Copies of this chain bind each other. A is one copy, B any other.
């Protein structure tokens, strides 16, 4: 005891300040967190001591341990973290998450799940109060892991399961409405374009078997919706092409379809992203939309409204989904938490990318 005040190697902590100021730890804590409870003179003394020791204020780590709550929620996505920023729909969704979190003063942690091992570790150790599970495909263990962690979580666009909350839309109905819209316009020859059906993209035509086994729930529901609409209209099965979400895959799809089915008059896409690629590529081929081909998307991202021509699409409230998910986790965990289902409405938005089929 003697070299206590200067040239400390260790970080100075609450207890040091308390000792230096001759007060208890609790009082120092109060000075920083609830200054009103401390008399002015004592407060000044403590603040002075803190400053002279170079104390930076209560370390959040200690507070965390004691408080128990992190005040942040984790957003998990299958795949690399980048997909949070690369995909337009995901961005909208996250924008909603961000808005809701900010309103509640909570933070957001992006947790990656590139592979199973990393996912397991991250979900077990993320410093959060709950998880939003996104981009789920069947068979992955995210839900299991989240359950094991024992924190509240919400699965987005996922089959309802026992013991957890879900946010979703009616993908089946949306897809069916999209197809019906084109059928009503008089189209009879379609090409269905879908993004990844499995975690690994496989660019090429998709047969019924693969379509029904698509591990992404969303894909499966949408493809089924299209199929049922066609079937109800008395049409034979229409070709389905898996393009992925990138431009190249979509180009390959357009080429393949035009070569194999020259009668095609309409492209039905499981996402706006794919639909916009289709329009861009058709344009570069000198084909006009909607004069030569109708194109319909799904999602209702902002870029769709601003494209030339504006895209006809099934709008879904991506931002609202994000907000709803946060609400489920941070909201009053009153009664039936753990089995709630929030299904948000969708809506056909008529753009200028669809019209009656060309006469040939």
Residues of A whose CB lies within 8 Å of any CB of B are 56-57, 60-65, 68, 70, 72, 80-82, 84-86, 91-92, 94-95, 98-99, 101-102, 105, 107-112, 114, 118, 122, 124-127, 148-150, 280, 283, 306, 308
Contact = CB atoms under 8 A, between A and B. Distances in A.
Given A56-B149, A61-B65, A70 B114 contact: no
Given A65-B65, A82-B99, 6 more contacts: A56-B148, A56-B150, A80-B98, A81-B101, A84-B98, A85-B95
A321 to B, nearest CB: 14
Contact of A72 (B61, B109, B150): B109
A112 B122 contact: no
A131 to B, nearest CB: 13
10 contacts: A57-B124, A60-B124, A80-B98, A81-B98, A81-B108, A84-B98, A85-B85, A86-B91, A107-B110, A109-B110
Contacts of A111: 107
A98 B110 contact: yes
A122 B111 CA distance: 19
Contact of A127 (B64, B81, B86, B94): B64
Copies in the complex: 2
Contact of A60 (B57, B85, B86, B125): B125
A126 B127 CA distance: 11
Contacts of A61: 64-65, 68, 70, 127
Contacts of A150: 56
Contacts of A64: 61, 64-65, 127
Contact of A81 (B102, B109, B280): B102
B81 A99 contact: yes
Contacts of A110: 98, 107-110
A65 B61 CA distance: 6
Contacts of A56: 148-150
Contacts of A126: 60, 107
Contacts of A82: 95, 98-99, 102
A125 B127 CA distance: 13
User: Which 7 pairs from chain A and chain B are nearest by CB?
Assistant: A81-B98, A108-B110, A85-B91, A85-B95, A60-B125, A56-B150, A81-B102
A86 B301 CA distance: 12
B81 A86 contact: no
Contacts of A280: 306
